[in-house]
């Protein structure tokens, strides 16, 4: 089981080789310093639990918190993980330069870390976050854009760099975006269903309402789970076509959901109602 640690650790200035001294100037300073020391001790305990290799390193993977895309893989040591906890910026250890480096320190394409997970064997780490820009030095969204099947069939120079590793959800979004881009090209024959929906807002909205009603019916009529999954797939597909029409990325929707995790649903609705007045 992967274990998350970042949620209970407050940002702090930390180095595994440094120690903090308690000032006696006033009680407020003492309380604040004790809090930092407590967090410091938690970080020390966490770092002690990782199974570092003989060079003091562990594999560190950066993953997009919204899309699920694997952005890059590097290595981290104790100081790199501690720096990531403190700065909330994905930090690694460069084996070639034998020094820490924060992704984005030269390009400003930082990876803003929301959480950190350690695997069940405690020898690899995931930085779960949001990138400020392209992660790969080639300018690609992630470092993983080379499909093995393509490599086996074509020369490396012929491989398209935009074939990113995508989850099912984002593969669907990419397909819908492609159909939208093709609207500018006249086509003969019967148009695809996605093309028809993209060209007819009234048809699209009627289908979303229809599919949403059928989804609700699976609950009202106590239909089997497979039927509910099927109807939800229809709702999701048609809703994603609407997002494409409105030029809204699925990532934007997921970001809104993530920001609501710590909010009361009642308070969030009240806030939206007051802002619309």
Domain boundaries, given as residue ranges, for the chain:
57-131, 167-183+191-262
- CA 105/CA 107 separation, integer angstroms: 6
What pLDDT does 99 receive?
96
Q: Could you tell me which residues are beta bridge partners of residue 125?
A: 60, 118
135 phi, psi to nearest 5 deg = -85, -40
pTM for this prediction = 0.66
C-alpha separations of 182 from 21, 176, 187 in Å? 64, 10, 9
What pLDDT does 185 receive?
85
What pLDDT does 17 receive?
39
Phi-psi region of 253 (alpha: psi -120 to 50; beta: other; left: phi over 0): alpha
Which residue has tokens 């490599």? 151
- CA 57/CA 99 separation, integer angstroms: 12
C-alpha separations of 135 from 23, 63, 71, 98 in Å? 42, 10, 6, 21
CATH number corresponding to 57-131: 3.10.20.810
What pLDDT does 112 receive?
96
Under a CB-based contact definition with an 8 Å cutoff, are residues 74 and 81 in contact? Answer: no
What pLDDT does 27 receive?
52
Residues 6+ apart with CB under 8 A from 186: none
Instruction: State the architecture of 167-183+191-262 in CATH terms.
Output: Orthogonal Bundle (1.10)
What pLDDT does 260 receive?
87
Residues of the chain with pLDDT below 50 are 5, 7-25, 32-37, 157-159, 161
- The number of CA neighbours under 13 Å toward the Cβ of 43 is 27
SS3 7: helix
């Amino acid at each position: 089981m992967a274990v998350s640690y970042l949620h209970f650790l407050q940002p702090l200035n930390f180095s595994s080789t440094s120690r903090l001294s308690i000032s006696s100037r006033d009680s407020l300073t003492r309380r604040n310093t004790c809090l930092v020391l407590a967090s410091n001790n938690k970080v020390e305990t966490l770092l002690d639990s990782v199974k570092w290799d003989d060079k003091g390193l562990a594999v560190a993977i950066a993953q997009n918190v919204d899309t699920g895309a694997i952005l890059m893989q590097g290595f981290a040591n104790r100081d790199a993980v501690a720096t990531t906890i403190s700065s909330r910026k994905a930090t690694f250890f460069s084996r070639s330069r034998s020094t820490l480096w924060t992704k984005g320190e030269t390009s400003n394409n930082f990876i803003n870390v929301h959480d950190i997970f350690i695997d069940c064997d405690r020898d690899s780490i995931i930085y779960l976050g949001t990138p400020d820009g392209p992660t790969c030095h080639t300018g690609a969204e992630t470092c993983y854009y080379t499909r093995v099947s393509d490599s086996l069939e074509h020369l490396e120079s012929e491989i398209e760099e935009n074939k990113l590793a995508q989850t099912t959800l984002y593969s669907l979004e990419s397909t819908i975006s492609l159909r939208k881009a093709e609207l500018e090209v006249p086509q003969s024959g019967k148009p695809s269903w996605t093309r028809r929906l993209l060209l007819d807002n009234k048809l699209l909205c009627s289908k979303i309402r229809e599919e949403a009603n059928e989804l609700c019916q699976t609950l009202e009529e106590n239909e089997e789970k497979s039927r509910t999954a099927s109807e939800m797939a229809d709702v999701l597909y048609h809703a994603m076509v609407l997002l494409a029409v409105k030029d809204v990325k699925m990532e934007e929707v997921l970001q809104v959901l993530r920001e609501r995790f710590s909010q009361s649903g009642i308070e969030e609705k009240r806030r939206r109602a007051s802002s619309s007045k």
